[in-house]
């Protein structure tokens, strides 16, 4: 029987990739089922993420579809398993599902790159700064939701700590450093924290200074989450309506190109850190 539990972002992606494999092989659901010795309904349920699938079955599907990219197949196999209850599930009753998907994406990523113009990178915010940005929401958030969003944002930072922290690159426009959310003390504390975090070996913070007119500026922050292989990367873009997740090959190539260009226009990490600290002193 299909599970009644919420379908995770990882399970949705695995289902999509299995459908893509079948379609690249030029097989209908019925043809694929016949080749694999299962019922067409099983193919449909697996591709709709209604049924969990084991790593061995993923490998069998890939072999049946003629996929010879073993790294990609093992990447898919690593996405299997039951509906793992991550810490973010504690917030399901309180926050939009898209936010929970972001936490799951960060948890599964092998590396993260972000670009921001107005706000500080979410994984490098202090609680005071995060709370101040949520207080600026229009219309205002109810008090309980403001606190849930704040605690959720801070808990997401767990991926940057521990024995195997996720490599993290933040490309920050100078405008974000000067927004001043929460007033002088909050802003100064946030800037000093950003500079401090940038000293970690696995965290790179680079700043695009004012005055570079060649940099395309967009108010929408986005995250490039690397998967176990490039074909399983994901881009998450914050929009007015929520979180948009993209993983088509042309979309991934576009955002890799944009991020590479933005990073090439930024100051070095050392000069970026100096600029952050100078701004913090003058807040």
Q: Give the mean pLDDT of 254-266.
A: 95
pLDDT in the model for residue 175: 95
Q: Which tokens hold the place of 129?
A: 């700064």
Name the pLDDT band for 83 (thresholds 50, 70, 90).
Answer: low
d(CA 212, CA 221): 19
pLDDT in the model for residue 1: 42
Decide which of 96 and 240 is more confident.
96
Q: Which tokens hold the place of 59?
A: 């490998």
Q: Give the mean pLDDT of 41-46.
A: 94
Give pLDDT tens digits for 127-136. Answer: 999 999 999 9
* 165 and 159 Cβ atoms separated by less than 8 Å: yes
pLDDT at 266 over 80: yes
Sign of dihedral through CA atoms 237, 239, 245, 246? negative
pLDDT at 263 over 60: yes
Name the pLDDT band for 43 (thresholds 50, 70, 90).
Answer: very high
Name the pLDDT band for 8 (thresholds 50, 70, 90).
Answer: confident
Q: Which residue has the tokens 């539990």?
A: 5
pTM attached to this predicted model: 0.91
* 194 and 205 Cβ atoms separated by less than 8 Å: yes
Mean pLDDT (the chain, rounded): 93
Q: Which residue has the tokens 């940057």?
A: 160
Give pLDDT tens digits for 103-116. Answer: 999 999 999 999 99
Residue 36: CB partners within 8 Å, gap ≥ 6?
Answer: 43, 60, 61, 64
Give pLDDT tens digits for 159-184. Answer: 999 899 999 999 999 999 999 999 99
pLDDT at 82 over 60: no
């Amino acid at each position: 029987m299909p599970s009644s539990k919420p379908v995770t972002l990882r399970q949705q992606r695995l289902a999509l990739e299995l459908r893509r494999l079948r379609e690249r092989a030029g097989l209908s659901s019925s043809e694929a089922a016949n080749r694999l010795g299962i019922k067409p309904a099983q193919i449909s349920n697996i591709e709709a993420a209604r049924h969990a699938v084991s790593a061995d079955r993923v490998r069998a599907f890939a072999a049946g579809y003629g996929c010879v990219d073993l790294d990609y197949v093992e990447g898919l196999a690593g996405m299997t398993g039951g509906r793992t209850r991550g810490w973010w599930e504690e917030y399901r009753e309180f926050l939009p599902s898209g936010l929970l998907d972001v936490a799951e994406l960060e948890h599964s990523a092998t590396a993260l790159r972000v670009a921001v113009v107005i706000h500080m990178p979410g994984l490098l915010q202090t609680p005071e700064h995060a709370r101040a940005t949520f207080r600026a929401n229009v219309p205002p958030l109810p008090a309980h939701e403001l606190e849930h969003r704040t605690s959720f944002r801070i808990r997401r930072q767990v991926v940057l700590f521990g024995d195997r922290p996720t490599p993290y690159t933040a490309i920050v426009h100078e405008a974000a450093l000067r927004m001043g959310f929460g007033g002088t003390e909050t802003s100064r504390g946030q800037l000093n924290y950003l500079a401090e975090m940038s000293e970690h070996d696995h965290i790179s913070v680079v700043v695009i200074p004012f005055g570079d007119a060649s940099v395309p500026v967009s108010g929408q922050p986005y995250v490039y989450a690397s998967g176990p292989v490039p074909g399983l990367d994901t881009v998450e873009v914050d929009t007015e309506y929520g979180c948009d997740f993209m993983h088509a090959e042309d979309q991934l190539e576009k955002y890799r190109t944009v991020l590479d260009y933005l990073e090439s226009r930024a100051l070095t990490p050392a000069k970026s850190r100096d600029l952050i600290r100078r701004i913090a002193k003058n807040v």
